[in-house]
Amino acid sequence: MPSRSNDALFRTLTATAADGIIVIDERGLIGIYNAACERLFGYTQDEVIGKNVNMLMPTPYRKEHDSYLENYRETGRARIMGIGREVIGQRKDGTTFPMYLSVGKGILDTQTIYVGIIRDLTARNSALKKMQELQNELLHVSRLSAMGQMTAAIAHELNQPLTAVLNYINASRRLISGLKDPQAARVSDLIERAGNQINRAGQIIRQLREFVEKRETARIEVNINTVVEEAVNLAVVGSADANVRMKLDLAPALSPVLIDKIQVQQVLLNLLRNSVEAMQQVSTRELRISTVPDPEGWVEVRVADSGPGLPPEVLSRLFQPFVTTKEKGMGIGLSICQSIIEAHGGRIWAGPAEEGGAVFHFCLPPSKGAAELV
């Protein structure tokens, strides 16, 4: 016979538990249904006691539950016992919600009972969904932006030989113009036509560049710490990153920076993912991200890993355009990272970390400086 104090304790336990507690008998009939359950399902205790627990489940689970119980009784094979998993619950108003259910088995007065603990997953699932949506959006935008940056990089590369050709053509024209040779006029004319085509090519490149540069109007004034935190949240959502220890060391009093937030986040994501990949082969996986002010008010961001580090021959080629690197997921390439940072007036560079890994740094000018120039 349970003592009075046990009884009171039991009542307090079930009444104050934040999670739902349901106890059913072997046939699935509800014997205990606590206050948290009332809040979760909408039914009051009186409405459920003695009824089959499958009333709290949507179809088809409702019909299946009885057979689960019977199956377990006959075979002893558990589908959920002691394991716990995500299931769907149904409220009194008919709406459903995701819940985490763990079930234990017990004996009470020689009868078998099942104790279910229920946690509402609605909030967690909607946060996860939002995170997934943000990632997809960022991925999409980063692909577009990467194409834009790639275009700008190609345009610049093309400009060099075009410039040289035009210079040679103009030099040739001038040298020929003084000659008396009867062919000179014809040659001069042909050269002039070639020059016009070069100008045409140059125009096309200029138009390409202008098209890409429209993004500059998307710059906003932000605190870089916010950008870093968001990027970190997005970068380590995958399971491969579960074994990476992240250390954030964000300086408190930083000047705001005027940046295209999506672009700078792309740079950060690229650096973070590179570091995580670099550490795959080592046992100690530590990622240190810090923000640091410099004496002139510039803002420096550092991403340091505990990986194998960068050999000198890799270091010298790191930011070259069109160098193939592993382009998984959101990687946009270090050359494009450099384009982005330099377009903001900053610098990006890499070096060895004290503990043997690699550190990537980039710095950005304070927005006061940028605002002055606009």
Partner 1 sequence: MLSEHPPRMIYIVDDDDAVRDSLKALLESLGFEVKDFNSAREFLAERKVDASGCLLLDLHMPVMSGIDLLEHMRDNGPQLPTIVITGRSDGFLKERALRSGARAFIDKPVADDVLIAAIDRALGDV
234 binds partner 1 (CB under 8 A): no
| Distance (Å, whole) CA 310 – CA 162 | 35
Identify which of residues 288 and 344 has a Cβ nearer to partner 1 in the complex. 344
Judged by CB under 8 A, which stretch of 71-79, 231-239, 242-250, 341-349 contacts partner 1?
Answer: 341-349
Does 152 bind partner 1 (CB under 8 A)? Our answer is: yes
Query: Measured from the CB atom, is 2 or 295 closer to partner 1?
Result: 295
Does 164 engage in binding with partner 1 (CB under 8 A)? yes
Q: Name which of 95 and 167 has its Cβ closer to partner 1.
A: 167
Taking CB under 8 A as the binding criterion, the range among 135-143, 167-175, 269-277, 293-301 that sits at the site for partner 1 is 167-175
Among 42, 256, 345, 352, the residue binding partner 1 under the rule CB under 8 A is: 345
Q: Which of 65, 261, 273, 344 binds partner 1 (CB under 8 A)?
A: 344
**Residue 39 interacts with partner 1 (CB under 8 A)?**
no
- The stretch near partner 1 (CB under 8 A) out of 13-21, 119-127, 169-177, 323-331 is 169-177
343 binds partner 1 (CB under 8 A): yes
User: Based on CB atoms, which residue is closest to partner 1, 9 or 204?
Assistant: 204
- Count of chain residues binding partner 1 (CB under 8 A): 31
Site string for partner 1, 206-225 (x = CB under 8 A): x------x--x---------
Q: Does 163 bind partner 1 (CB under 8 A)?
A: yes
Q: How far is the CB of 101 from partner 1 (least distance, A)?
A: 57
Closest approach of partner 1 to the CB of residue 293, in Å: 21
Residues making contact with partner 1 (CB under 8 A)? 152, 155-156, 159-168, 170-172, 174-175, 198-199, 201-202, 206, 213, 216, 342-345, 370, 373
